[in-house]
Structure 1
Amino acid sequence: MYKILLVEDDEIIASSVCEYLKTWGYETEYVRDFEHVMELFLQFSPQLVLMDIALPFFNGYHWCQEIRKISKVPIIFLSSMNDNMNIVMAVNMGGDDFVAKPFDMAVLTAKVQAMLRRSYSFQGETSVCEHRGVILNLNDTTLHYGDKKLDLTKNDFKILQILFQNAQKVVSRDSIMERLWESESFIDDNTLTVNMTRLRRKLEEIGLKDFIVTKKGLGYMLV
């Protein structure tokens, strides 16, 4: 079942569209807290986003750019601001299509179906892990925190991946070394310490001091 997220300021329109698309077999959700759009996006992990331009706090262009930092999920803009400048802006900001308000539900559904057909399976679901606002992108092995981006080495990524997958749980040194062995890199106990020290230094440089903590005699964990 495809999941569709609606980012729309008018709750009547948002709920109506969601209910209509549900009758076509889609799982739907809409944003209620416009200060935390990305949190819902990460939690819901949609296969398509319907995005208005005029929104509280930040406009749809902003959220489209934020989504594009971590995902290629298709985005269809829905807006009454349907002059040529806004349509061009929507595409330039990463949008895939534009539907002018007011729209017919049947036309919108046809657009949604066509976009999903074109986009999958080669564009799959959002491939990210998130913890305390820090985002690990599994597609391009980058880490995002605020407006900062960290390009990770193979070992950095492997270490963070297992820690994110077990966030707030202690991961043993042996488990991390086994994950690193999967990449055919020879990692002994001392080499793991060196890798971990180097990774922590990189995290501190983007404002993530003590993001990874050591549990003496047990292993490491994200806090």
Structure 2
Amino acid sequence: MEKIMIVEDDKKIAEYLRAYIEKYGYEAIIATDFENIMGTFRDVQPNLLLLDINLPSYDGYYWCRQIRKESISPVIFISARTGEMDQVMALENGGDDFITKPFHPDIVMAKIRSQLRRAYGEYAAVKHEERVITQEGLSLYPERLELRFNDKVAQLTKKETDIIESLLERYPRVAGRQDLLEKLWDDQAYVDENTLNVNITRVRNKFQELGIEHAVETVRGAGYRLRITWKEGEA
């Protein structure tokens, strides 16, 4: 039975979500210690997280960043905030989807099922063995959110991992901007052009941590391409 963890400080909303989720055969756990969300997360080991933004002590963005250091379990933000930047921030901080309040419970369930299928079900990669994507000494471990080169390791966010995975899979071809947007964000209406640029810059910084300069080439009018042939002294 899949476990859904609910992080919502409005008790009525939390109980409403719990009852509705359990009606569909899932186990729902409500977090109550808002200063130790990570402790509850580690104890529960949920398959998916429903996360409010406005929380006591630390906001949902903070907790999502902490979760992404340890897990790639889907995170769906549920919030009364309706601004485009709030939704961009949710995705930028590691979220997978965003639902605005007030919400219809059927929409919540549809998004939960969609994310569970993507992460564990018919759309998920085979989980029998850990996936490793390797090219010319580079090794990407998507489930660990790690990029390795020689004896160096760079820790990645989920978005950074997705971008590098796309670049590796398309090498030596160009990964189009539109393709990257579709992979990273389902609802592109809330993503401005600069958001992808910011993430590409972060990816370049990760390569620099490994001692690799100029790893991601901008192909004007098309997208980005991974430059695999490292020059002497860049390793």
Asked if 2 retains the 8 angstrom alpha-carbon contact of 1:72 and 1:123, the reply is no
Structure 2 unaligned regions, length at least 5 = 128-142, 147-152, 156-235
Residue 65 (structure 2) aligns with = 65
Residue 102 (structure 1) aligns with = 102
TM-score (norm 2): 0.52
The yes-or-no answer on 1:76 pairing with 2:72 is: no
Report the CA distance between 1:65 and its aligned residue: 0.2
Alignment of 1:86-125 (within 5 A): 86-121=86-121, 122=125
**Corresponding letter in the other structure for 2:19:** E
CA RMSD in angstroms comes to 2.4
Asked if 2 retains the 8 angstrom alpha-carbon contact of 1:73 and 1:123, the reply is no
Against the structure 1 CA distance between its residues 123 and 98, is the aligned structure 2 distance closer, same or farther, given a 3 Å change threshold? farther
Report the CA distance between 1:33 and its aligned residue: 1.0
| Distance in 2 separating the partners of 1:140 and 1:116 | 19
* Deviations, residues 106-151 of structure 1 (Å, cap 9, x unaligned): 1111111111111115497xxxxxxxxxxxxxx6499xxxxxx999
The secondary structure found in structure 2 opposite 1:118 is helix
The secondary structure found in structure 1 opposite 2:5 is strand
**Corresponding letter in the other structure for 2:59:** N
The yes-or-no answer on 1:28 pairing with 2:28 is: yes
| Distance in 1 separating the partners of 2:21 and 2:15 | 10
Asked if 2 retains the 8 angstrom alpha-carbon contact of 1:7 and 1:52, the reply is yes
The secondary structure found in structure 2 opposite 1:76 is strand
Alignment of 1:47-58 (within 5 A): 47-58=47-58
Structure 1 unaligned regions, length at least 5 = 125-138, 143-148, 152-223
Percent sequence identity is 42
* Deviations, residues 130-188 of structure 1 (Å, cap 9, x unaligned): xxxxxxxxx6499xxxxxx999xxxxxxxxxxxxxxxxxxxxxxxxxxxxxxxxxxxxx
The secondary structure found in structure 1 opposite 2:77 is strand
